Structure 1
């Protein structure tokens, strides 16, 4: 079977994206798992001996590749690509890498996407409205998507992403949660080899205490679970978040649906920061990202760990291969 082709957007060239991408792709186990196409800045890529060995392309000339390839989207001036010193032009460039990778995926040139860290602040300073990769991907593919933090000990999906807590009561609906549970069940079944067992967290402390601490569990979350179960989704809850994560090695579920950003990301990052991968569910192609930011203070120092990028790349390759094969006969080890 041919290796999956993974399109990699380089992220902010003033951050750690270029060095952790080069470091990850230098590992034999990563090279054996995928064919990379790196979308980034030409002069920045030339700094790394590994990338100088890759075939060359531009967004206009890129097709279905046969080997490792760099796709030069920009040619930034030296002052716009200094490690640790982000610029407005660099913000515009990192957005361009994401969009070029998306275009390649839509054209069928790559089988999966892996996005190195970007800076929402720098992209916004460049005049481009940007809330995050997840929102851009949803719009680009016209898809209903979910953010899933996929770690070695727990998978946690988010019912809502980058929104203020005050907006949650209006954003959480029976219909939305039901569809998200169906999406989780459908997308994760090929990975776990069966219908995944999903825990649904409550919004309020102690999952609302039967309505004493809030009505969302009674009026929204529980009805959504019942509707999802009627649609053959193996969903359970509402479950209090503090109790579920108190024993992370004995959770007993294949995945968890959290109601808001920090409710899901705090335990995901606390349990295994380096190996937890951000996965976007609901897209026609898999998309992954390491679970960290641009880390400007580490950029160019050689101290940034490549492990999160390694995990993100391997997860993208695994998901692309799983999508081609269909559901496996049994669940692979975590």
Structure 2
């Protein structure tokens, strides 16, 4: 158990990611949450955008609503929209307050708006003053956005993807840690691309700038495997080190790190988001959710004109044009 940055929360290294809750029913959710508690997990991360996740978690915890620290997040960018989402989260989670409320997936395009007089941050600060939330955090898939946000001293925590094949966030995590902020790792299994969960989590537990890991978990077996990995404080073996090296070298030219250097797209596609949604579809088994977001985008992978102007900007040498064909094929056949 350790204190998450300078927050009021004393948590375990393994947290509970709430995305996969969407694919189970309420009865299964209760069983999963109960197993998480038995395993020592006491931090749950969810989001307004995860369809039924907040509602199910709230129902599972209604008899003992403060048995976990609860973190949620909203894509709202304006004052009024964030204010509405905070109240909605309180209602769905059945709590009088929420431990950590985060600005969800902030990008460069909305950065100034969020920090403006009519922005979402103002609503969060007011809610904190009113006791509706305890801490304010931020999540992003952009290193540059988090780097700027950390300097504002407005946030208690930062959340960013980090795993064996996605390590572009190391500097911002170290910077946040040095300032006393809590560091939360999303996608520790690379959105399910890393099949050996034990290896993936053992790798992360050896990094001193990472506080809590929040893999998505949708059954009791996953909880047990993940908890066992996090509790194993033995040094990485020679075989584990060799396997990690192999993954870094062999997934490097196939895996989008969502760094955003490929942007802007000639026709306006959010390129990293296409690969993120593909991961939810193929590895998280969240077909309905992923398809809905894919189809609601102004532009998606099927709009790619294969100009390849993005490819020289990719620091990992990805064949983005070919990967767009793969993504559009996956979604267009559904």
Query: Scaled by the length of structure 2, what TM-score is found?
Result: 0.32
Larger Rg: 1
Report which structure shows greater RCO (CA 8 Å, sep ≥6): 1
Q: 1 or 2, which has the higher strand percentage?
A: 1
